[in-house]
Amino acid sequence: MPDNLKLLVTGLNGIVGKALRPALEQRYEISALSRSGVDGLPDERVFKANISDIDSLRPAFEGVDVVLNLAADGGMSSEAGMNAGWDSMLQNNIIGAYNVLEVAKQAGVSRVILASSGATSNGYELEEPYKSLVSTEDVPEPKSWDMVGEYSEPKPVSLYGVTKLFGEDIGRYYAATSDLSVINLRISSCGPIDEAGPGRAQANWSSYRDLQQLTIKCIEAPADLKFDIFWATSDNRKLFRDNSHAKEVLGYAPQDGVK
């Protein structure tokens, strides 16, 4: 990667974008694409566009090395959470993912990192032993459990999770059929406050600095990493979203975790 890497971030105003921004700004020349604009960046690096309108995206991609696509509807930054309306998720998560990848390919971008989600696999939490691991009740902790890897069977229980699986698969398609490298980052429990709440976050939490570290490792991974999926999780005692693949492939070394 070049020393003065140019990074375009969509959705920088969201919860994950705000968590990542300080570390990314220290390291790269950042530009931002959003519907409403972004404060604190030079005007020439702020692009107002609708991710579902492919032609409106093109100016932002000129001269960019890597794109980090955080723009979506249905996640923590959405008013309705994972119950966001289908029409909005269709435009932002499905058409938007295609548009970002297609424009990146046409513009000669080297890599796109797509924000995926733990929602791709939330169905595991309806089953034991995972149900007990995420419970807010005082239930006995399982003695052991199988880890859920990036290539375990997907188990979405929301349309939001389905749209994120689409993002992973269309990313696989672009990696296989173009020069693009595409990395999917399954972002786990990362909220507006950098701490793990009760219940699900006790198992699935990702601290800001761990998420920052992993995102930087994805941006700077060798060019021959054409496609992959990584769980963004800290080293929590109840962890079942397996981050060992990121450790092995990228050298990810979490510094935090719920003990």
How high is the pLDDT of residue 7?
A: 98
Distance between CA atoms of 173 and 171, rounded to whole angstroms?
5
How high is the pLDDT of residue 76?
A: 66
Answer whether residue 23 is part of any domain: yes
How high is the pLDDT of residue 18?
A: 96
Largest CA distance in the chain: 55
Q: Which residues of the chain have pLDDT under 50?
A: none
Q: pTM of the entire structure?
A: 0.95
How high is the pLDDT of residue 82?
A: 73
Q: Quick: pLDDT tens for 79-91.
A: 767 778 899 999 9
Answer whether residue 256 is part of any domain: no
Q: What is the CATH number of the domain that holds 51?
A: 3.40.50.720
Tally of structural domains, the chain? 1
Answer whether residue 243 is part of any domain: yes
How high is the pLDDT of residue 2?
A: 55
Where are the extended beta strands (E) located within 135-236?
A: 181-187, 227-232
Answer whether residue 258 is part of any domain: no
Helix (H, G, I), strand (E, B) or coil at 48: strand
Answer whether residue 257 is part of any domain: no
Domain that holds residue 112: 6-250
Distance between CA atoms of 71 and 33, rounded to whole angstroms?
9
Answer whether residue 259 is part of any domain: no
Distance between CA atoms of 104 and 65, rounded to whole angstroms?
9
Answer whether residue 166 is part of any domain: yes
Lookup: tokens for 179: 């020069």
Give 64: exposed, middle or buried? Use CB within 10 Å, 0-12, 13-18, 19+: buried
| Percent of the chain residues past pLDDT 90, beyond the cut | 92
